[in-house]
Amino acid sequence: MHGLHFIQDLAVVLVVAGAVGWLCQRIGLSVVVGFLTAGILVGPKSPPLTLVRDASSIETLAQLGLVFLMFSIGLQLSLRKLRRLGFALMLAAFGSATVMYYLSRLLGEALGWGSEESLFLAAMLMISSSAVISKVLHETRTNHERPGQLAMGVVVMEDVVAVVMLTLLNSLVHLGAGDGANVGETLLTFGAFVVLAGIGGLLLVPWLLKRMSIAADEELQTLGLVALLFGLAVVAERAGYSLALGAFLLGTIVAETPHRHQVERTFEGMRDVFTAVFFVAIGMQIDVRELWGEAGLIVGVAAFTIVTRPLAVTTGLTLTGTPLKDAMRTGLTVTPIGEFSFIIAQLGVGAAVLPASFYPLAVGVSLVTTLFAPLLTRRSERIADAAIAALPRWLADWVRAYHGWLERLQLRKSRSLLWQLSRKRLVQVSVGMLFVTGLVVFSEQLFELVAAWSGVKFMPPNALKAVFWILLVLVTLAPLVAIWRNLSAMAMLYAEMSTKGVAHAKRLRPVVETGLKVVAGAGLFFWLSAILPAEGTARWLLRLSGVVAVVALGVLRRKLIYWHSEMEVELMSVIEVGDNRMTATTAPWLRPHGDWNLHMIDCTLSDLADCQGKSIAALDLRARFGCSVVGIERQGFMIPLPPPEAVLYPRDKVLLMGTTAQVREGRAFLGAVSGAPVADSLFEEVRMEALTVPAGSRGAGRTLGELSPAQNHGVQIAGIHRAGVRILNPSAHETLRAGDEILALGAPVHIADFKAWLRQQPDVAMEAAAD
């Protein structure tokens, strides 16, 4: 009966999460606080309200929730979004994480903790909660202000930092990698796995989603995507990483495809359910007595976080050129920690690297920082103004001078011809080397998957491995050829630029180019020697594969170049698909205008909203409240500055602009639900029915354009049968005649109404109109 108990536990989790989350929302707290509290209340460590006792059920719920949560976080991140956010914001996020890392390590040492405890504490406090911050920004209506936009950008970048930290900590837990060499090796291996999974996913997942969208119904597409989700999560676990990494990677891959908005819509319900399940499961693992026993430490670390996180983020943003006031407001907004901190604490406690007290510490600090987050966000402008006014004059002058120097440096960089010509090739070489490294380093895992999936039984293991290695070498030849071609092109470019204007440049240039190629070739040799296995049976497999590689390189060189070019074009076609969401990064015209007292907030129309089906002109928001609709996001497509005749539909995200009072009144009006019954959709009942135009009908002798049956009756005339001749899809100029058999398309109630109308005599119709 374990299955019944699991369903019972899941029901309890959802009911209590919904009730406590609703209560927290009513009193102005984040629902995440409610989910954590719900878990603490019903968990096995909080008698007498214990409603869930099975530890395996709790662990299963937490893993399920983690997979869906990381997938949803990955869906918000894509290469296009990273490119739009810019390299400066990436540097700012990594810089702030570095500052927070060293400050947290100092706190750990001050508390007398060991190096591992201090490392995990730093990892917990380095990363903010995207779930909490997005909700706080939406609740405080600051998601369309400059600091709010920067905050969401920082959160996206910190998600990348979190995945890297999880990988390093996972290596520390399982492999005991503590020195710098092992950390560097772990990062390189992690990069190789990400590139390998990313390129493979970008080539396979868009094609698979397209095939499923053509050949399968929506429910089958959902099943296929869930199978991919759990499959990649298991692959990441088998590769030595975590389920979270696999789910996160699939989310980022799907975010690059045109199917992203459909997937978000399909997974919206599951995401909400399992995100709540994850936070509740985290709370169920907390003992209230431990939470109370660590209250002093929790308050102290929370206070440290509230002070140092804004300081670290402000430092990172200021060093990359963000105005000081915007940087301070952003730092105050990204204070709360959350889901990644729980995962990190769970990893350390589960592996016995950390004491059990770290788990309630992470939850307690998250609760405190989440409680303070709305207050800090609402008052961020006043706090930033006060802090800037208190700055010493020399520091303010230094910041202005530094920002001016950054602008001049950026201008010189944009004028550098050598950088512009070599930047793309450097990226291609790096990605190619990581891809090849991933293929080689994870070759054993790939071989096990191939052997298990192929089901080949008639070949000896060594023969099967030899075939696998030959195929693997053939696959790696194309990127290796591309790497060498890019290095050769850069050698020629650098030789040309370095000898320009030098005496005897024509004779010196080939010498410099050859020297650079020799250095590049030696680097490639040492790199391949470091990653290729050379023990046991792998030695003769490498020799055999090397012979095959030389022959294939001589015969298929042009084909390899062509195949690599095709793969590169396919990847770029996936990555460069347009993304028209109503976000800060895709709508640069959305900027705050504080001096004009203009603000922007967005609201999503509910399925029962009174305004659905009405045009912007009919709603007349400008005359009623003084605000204007400046954008509509519908099914992932952005409609900027919609015309007055644009109609609003359920689930539309509407962007309002006006003063604070105006946009609040407009938002309340658009969200109003009167409780009036909404007409049921008759889509499933639409049918075709043959009708006869009776003699003396009011419709006889009039054209379809004059009758307008679609507009007046909700019926479309699909055909007319007259004197043995059938007229399909008649035009508006076609005239109805008595005795015509017409094919009417519509719902039964509309067809019946149109049939009754046709039976009316012209004089009866006139009398009815007069009445």
Per-residue pLDDT tens for 549-592? Answer: 555 555 555 665 555 555 555 555 555 544 444 443 334 333 44
pLDDT in tens, 24-71: 877 767 777 888 888 888 877 766 667 776 767 777 777 887 888 888
pLDDT band at 209 (very low <50, low <70, confident <90, very high): confident
480 vs 735 pLDDT, higher one = 735
Confidence class of residue 351 from pLDDT cuts 50, 70 and 90? confident
* pLDDT score, position 580: 45
Q: 260-284 and 55-75 are packed helices; what angle lies between their axes, rounded to 10 degrees?
A: 150
Task: In the chain, count H helices and then E strands.
Answer: 31, 8
pLDDT digits (tens, 9 = 90+) for 145-190: 778 878 888 887 887 788 778 777 776 766 554 444 456 666 677 7
Backbone angles phi, psi at 282, to 5 degrees: -65, -45
pLDDT for res 553: 55
Residue 181 pLDDT: 43
Helix (H) or strand (E) run with residue 343 in it: helix 339-350
Q: Give pLDDT tens digits for 109-131.
A: 888 888 888 888 888 888 888 77
Q: Which residue type, as a one-letter code, is found at position 558?
A: R
Q: What mean pLDDT comes out for the span 236-246?
A: 77
The predicted pLDDT at position 681 comes to 56
pLDDT recorded at residue 309:
92
Provide the pLDDT confidence category of residue 414 given band limits of 50, 70 and 90.
low
- Model confidence over 674-683: pLDDT tens digits? 655 555 555 6
Q: What is the mean pLDDT of residues 71-92?
A: 75
Q: What is the largest CA-CA distance in the chain?
A: 105
pLDDT at position 585:
39
Element (H, E) at 687: strand 687-692
**pTM metric for this prediction:** 0.66
Amino acid letter at 691? L
Q: What is the pLDDT of residue 177?
A: 46
Q: Which residue has the higher pLDDT, 445 or 601?
A: 601
pLDDT mean over 681-696? 76
Q: Residue by residue, what is the 3-state secondary structure of 238-286?
A: HCCCCHHHHHHHHHHHHHCCCCHHHHHHHHHHHHHHHHHHHHHHHHHCC
- Higher local confidence (pLDDT), 570 or 695: 695
Model confidence at 520: pLDDT above 80: yes
Average pLDDT value over all residues in the chain: 77
Specify whether the CB–CB gap between 474 and 430 falls below 8 A: no
Rounded to whole angstroms, how far apart are CA atoms 350 and 693?
79
CA–CA separation, 647 and 653 (whole Å): 12
The pLDDT score that the predictor gives to residue 724 is 83
For the chain, how far is it from start to end, CA to CA, in angstroms? 71
Residue 312 pLDDT grade (very low, low, confident, very high; cuts 50, 70, 90): very high
What pLDDT does 277 receive?
83
pLDDT at 310: 92
pLDDT mean over 299-325:
90
Average pLDDT over residues 78-103: 80
Q: How far is residue 139 from each of residues 43, 129, 135, 148, 375, measured CA to CA in Å?
A: 29, 15, 6, 12, 11
pLDDT given for residue 583 in this prediction: 44
**What is the reported pLDDT for 578?**
45
Highest mean pLDDT among 226-240, 365-379, 465-479: 365-379
Q: Treating both helix axes as pointing N-terminal to C-terminal, what angle do 130-140 and 31-42 enclose, rounded to 10 degrees?
A: 130
Between 49 and 623, the more confident residue is: 623
Question: How confident is the model at residue 634, as a pLDDT?
Answer: 81
What pLDDT, in 10s, does the model give residues 529-543? 777 665 544 555 555
The one-letter amino acid code at 717 reads I
Say how far apart CA 471 and CA 493 lie, in whole Å.
34
Mean pLDDT over 720-743 rounds to: 88
Long-range contacts of 135-142 (CB under 8 A, 24+ apart): 135/30, 135/31, 135/32, 136/30, 136/333, 136/336, 136/373, 136/374, 136/377, 137/333, 137/377, 139/30, 139/374, 140/374, 140/377, 140/378, 141/599, 141/601, 141/663, 142/333, 142/377, 142/378
Residue pair 486/425 in contact by the 8 Å Cβ criterion: yes
% of the chain exceeding 90 in pLDDT: 4
How far is Cα 317 from Cα 326, in angstroms, rounded to an integer?
9
The H-or-E segment that residue 631 falls in is strand 628-634
The whole-number pLDDT of residue 7 equals 79
pLDDT of residue 511: 83
Better pLDDT: 423 or 377: 377
Angle at which helix 2-26 crosses helix 31-42, to 10 degrees, equals 140
DSSP 8-state symbol, 643: -
pLDDT of the residue at 303: 93
Cβ atoms of 322 and 119 within 8 Å: the answer is no
Q: Which pLDDT score, from 0 to 100, does residue 545 have?
A: 53
